[in-house]
Structure 1
């Protein structure tokens, strides 16, 4: 059975994502549930670090943090590598703390891969960009600044207008 495809309509263009339901079922189901609930609609890419990642999925315009569901278990040990164009779950320093936030890898980020339990728990890759990597790269080029306590915040909001399973 084919993996689900999600389309992000953003203020910079469309991005299509294959969601790895086969590799990381808990993480995939969590992301797809947020998509189906419309949670991501109207959120912003709140962290942009050229040569590293673009991150979204947790803030409305004005850096207003959205309320999330409970955190999920980290499946990074079963996930593919954090390669350019893959999507991973963002989390705190606690391995099993991912909720709604995700990032798209702009380069191969081997340092984010699973290396073992504890500090090496890694970041779980749950999908990959199949179309729209040029849009991802365009987002990576926006001017950023500080919105204390946050750094690397786009000066002009980059909005994830809608996320839909196609």
Structure 2
């Protein structure tokens, strides 16, 4: 299930459902709806405002407010999660709103992982590649990709 612009990024290949969301709030709402639905699989959401409105526009104050707003809504997402669900928060590239220019920047991206059945406080370190996230998701569904190192066992209780 894809929320926001994800389906268009992947040309809808492998997409079972494309839920429309035009901003962060709509994406959060659709993510909660998807978590509450009777479904099983990957929910892939894109919080586009961080990138489009604040990162590329180099608006650190707007970025900070958007982070605070997302943080305030996070309990809604966590409450909708089931025992076996795993939440992974990351970015597809750096986009420091204080850096000159309007293109992507080169800093590392965050990797926050939460699950009711996941080990709390596990330091996943600096990963070798974003492919580690894909491999972890694949591992969760009993699949293997040609790249990346799964961290699923590192967070298992």
Q: Is TM > 0.5 for Structure 1 vs Structure 2?
A: no
In terms of fraction of residues, the more strand-rich structure is 1
Larger radius of gyration: 2
Q: Which TM-score bucket, shorter chain as reference?
A: under 0.3
TM-score, with length taken from structure 1: 0.25
TM-score, with length taken from structure 2: 0.26
In terms of fraction of residues, the more helix-rich structure is 2
